[in-house]
Amino acid sequence: MLNVAMAQGNIENKIFAFPVRIYYEDTDAGGIVYYANYLKFAERARSEFLRFLKIDQQKLLKEKQVGFVVRSCNIEYLSSAYLNDDLLVTCQVREMGGASAVIYQEVLRDNEILAKIAVKVVFMNVATHRPTRIDEEISEKFVQLLD
């Protein structure tokens, strides 16, 4: 069996950063990243952010029937990413509520901001489809990272 490390992110100054490489499948015919793919990159980074914090989304769904769902998303495109670019996608907790949080994200190439994304996530009971209070353990981890 090959021993290969998965891509990992890291937290520095309360900001999580996750690496993303641009592949052909991410681009249009001109080699420019298709606009909707920035949302995919942001979703991957948020998932890895939770994993980094030792928040097991699958376990929460299976055992408690709860999880985060996106309530709203605001994205501002500033510049394009291209085939073979190495990007960083950041996650920063900006707001906390009883059942929700706002995660601010940036997509960067070197130090250039390509996109800014503000995502409001709601902690949801998937059985009732109703918001529910964020688990205390998760809330504590988020509060420690508030900007």
For residue 106, how far is the Cα from the chain centroid? 10
Dig out the tokens for 100 from the structure.
Answer: 């929700």
| DSSP, residue by residue, 21-33 | E--GGGB-TTSBB
Instruction: Identify whether 86 is a catalytic site residue.
Output: no
Is there a contact between 123 and 142 (Cβ–Cβ < 8 Å)? no
User: Of the listed 26, 28, 86, 135, which one is catalytic?
Assistant: 28
Give the residue from 85, 83, 105, 119 showing the smallest Cα distance to 18.
Answer: 105
State the Cα–Cα distance between residues 103 and 75, nearest whole angstrom. 12
State the Cα–Cα distance between residues 118 and 75, nearest whole angstrom. 7
| DSSP, residue by residue, 87-102 | EEEEEEEEEE-SSEEE
**What is the set of active-site residues?**
28
